[in-house]
């Protein structure tokens, strides 16, 4: 089987190494930085298991690496999803399946329009926590998820697609009933935004912070309370949708916690999160929030945007989520170089 990984970030590296280590799999990569990739990738996991994989091809041109591939997997920031689908579409062979490792990027909103005749899939959550150690050559898998929830569209046999993904990722796959089940997420779009809001809601230009805290290991009860408040609104949205959306479990259930205090302990003590710093940049005298980081752009302008948009569509009041969303969007507008209109999206709700 030939697989094309689209995107050269943390997950792009680890997916290439993990999947490419399987017998009979050839890996091609579509990335904007092909010259920085070595012919061989090394991926190591928390147990010390190392996988070394030779890449069959690396290019920034879809025509070099997409034709002939049976599976194309996007690992891209949300703002590149649509343009990437438009670029690879003309090069897909008949029967190729195109998917993503995180559906909360709004993958299906774009893919169902751009590729209406191709098999599509999206995962609710990423299969593992990944980090690049040395760009283009070495990466690590910090931890594996226990299973995958996947939605398959435009396929005569979704169960066969699920079975194939189960074999590739060595994880049980459960098929979602509707694409919103993997698009609407109370993971990063609420988790990351709750943390950033509680850290920097009082930020003013020129403010300098003395240190860059661990994003997860220094998690606070205040962030947990906000996360739970937004998750309550999220669950109201889920209940209002005219479809059964099982497996969108509340935050407390997912983290096996009982309240804000135990949730804080669960997040701060999670071994996967050790060493992950907050999205900040060094400035004279200390640190400042990095409003160009994917935490701001991805989670406020896309992941959280889809939540408040569906809330508006279905008449669900989400005041706490809306407050955080508007704060984050305002920060990106005021302090970031990112401009959403450059990617075909309008102003915030």
Q: Are 313 and 276 in contact (CB under 8 A)?
A: no
Could you read off the pLDDT of 277-321 as tens digits, one per residue?
999 999 999 999 999 999 999 999 999 999 999 999 999 999 999
| In the predicted structure, residue 124 carries a pLDDT above the cut 70 | yes
Mean pLDDT (whole number) for 329-346:
82
Domains in the chain and their CATH numbers? 2-183 (3.40.50.720), 188-343 (1.10.1040.10)
52 — pLDDT class (breaks 50, 70, 90): very high
Q: In the sheet where 119-123 sits, what is the strand order?
A: 57-59, 26-30, 2-6, 71-74, 97-100, 119-123, 148-153, 173-175
pLDDT score recorded for residue 155: 97
* SS3 of residue 336 by DSSP: coil
User: Higher-confidence residue: 86 or 129?
Assistant: 86
- Answer left, alpha or beta for residue 247, where phi above 0 means left and psi between -120 and 50 means alpha: left
pLDDT score recorded for residue 275: 86
pLDDT score recorded for residue 230: 99
- Answer left, alpha or beta for residue 255, where phi above 0 means left and psi between -120 and 50 means alpha: alpha
pLDDT score recorded for residue 349: 67
Mean pLDDT (whole number) for 100-127:
94
Residue 140 tokens read as 């690590």
348 — pLDDT class (breaks 50, 70, 90): low
pLDDT score recorded for residue 40: 94
Task: Give 211's Cβ-side CA count (13 Å radius).
Answer: 5
pLDDT score recorded for residue 201: 98
pLDDT score recorded for residue 273: 86
Q: Measured between alpha carbons, how far is 55 from 38 in angstroms, rounded to an integer? A: 8
pLDDT score recorded for residue 101: 94
pLDDT score recorded for residue 227: 99
pLDDT score recorded for residue 142: 86
User: Higher-confidence residue: 144 or 287?
Assistant: 287
Beta strands in the chain (DSSP E): 2-6, 26-30, 40-45, 50-54, 57-59, 71-74, 97-100, 119-123, 128-134, 138-144, 148-153, 173-175, 280-283, 286-289
Residue 237 tokens read as 């949205």
341 — pLDDT class (breaks 50, 70, 90): confident
Query: Residues of 171-184 as b/e, b for ≥16 C-beta within 10 angstroms?
Result: bebebbebbbbbbb
Mean pLDDT (whole number) for 173-191:
92
pLDDT score recorded for residue 88: 98
Q: Are 122 and 155 in contact (CB under 8 A)?
A: no
Mean pLDDT (whole number) for 164-168:
97
Could you read off the pLDDT of 269-278 as tens digits, one per residue?
988 888 899 9
């Amino acid at each position: 089987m030939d697989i094309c990984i689209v995107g050269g970030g943390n997950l792009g590296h680890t997916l290439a190494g993990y999947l490419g280590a399987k017998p009979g799999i050839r890996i091609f990569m579509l990335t904007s930085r092909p010259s920085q990739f070595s012919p061989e990738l090394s991926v190591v996991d928390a147990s010390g298991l190392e996988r070394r994989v030779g890449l069959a091809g690396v290019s920034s041109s879809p025509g070099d690496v997409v034709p002939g591939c049976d599976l194309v997997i996007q690992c891209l920031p949300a703002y590149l999803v649509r343009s990437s689908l438009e670029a690879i579409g003309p090069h897909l062979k008949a029967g190729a399946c195109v998917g993503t490792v995180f559906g909360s990027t709004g993958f299906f909103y774009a893919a169902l329009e751009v590729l209406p005749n191709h098999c599509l899939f999206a995962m609710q959550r990423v299969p593992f926590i990944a980090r690049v150690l040395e760009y283009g050559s070495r990466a690590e898998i910090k931890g594996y998820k226990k299973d995958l929830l996947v939605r398959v569209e435009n396929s005569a046999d979704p169960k066969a697609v699920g079975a194939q993904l189960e074999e590739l990722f060595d994880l049980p796959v459960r098929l979602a009933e509707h694409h919103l089940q993997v698009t609407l997420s109370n993971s990063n779009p609420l988790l990351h935004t709750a943390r950033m809001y509680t850290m920097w809601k009082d930020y003013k230009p020129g403010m300098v912070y003395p240190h860059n805290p661990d994003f997860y290991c220094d998690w606070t009860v205040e962030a947990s309370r906000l996360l739970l408040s937004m998750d309550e609104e999220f669950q109201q949205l889920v209940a209002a949708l005219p479809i059964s959306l099982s497996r969108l479990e509340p935050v407390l259930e997912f983290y096996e916690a009982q309240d804000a205090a135990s949730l804080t302990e669960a997040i701060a003590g999670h071994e996967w999160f050790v060493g992950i710093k907050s999205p900040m940049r060094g400035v004279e005298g200390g640190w400042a929030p990095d409003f160009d980081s994917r935490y701001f752009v991805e989670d406020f302008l896309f992941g959280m945007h889809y939540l408040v948009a569906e809330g508006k569509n279905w008449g669900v009041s989400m005041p706490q989520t809306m407050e955080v969303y508007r704060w984050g969007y305002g920060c990106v507008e005021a302090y970031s170089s990112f401009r959403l209109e450059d990617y075909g999206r309008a102003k915030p709700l």
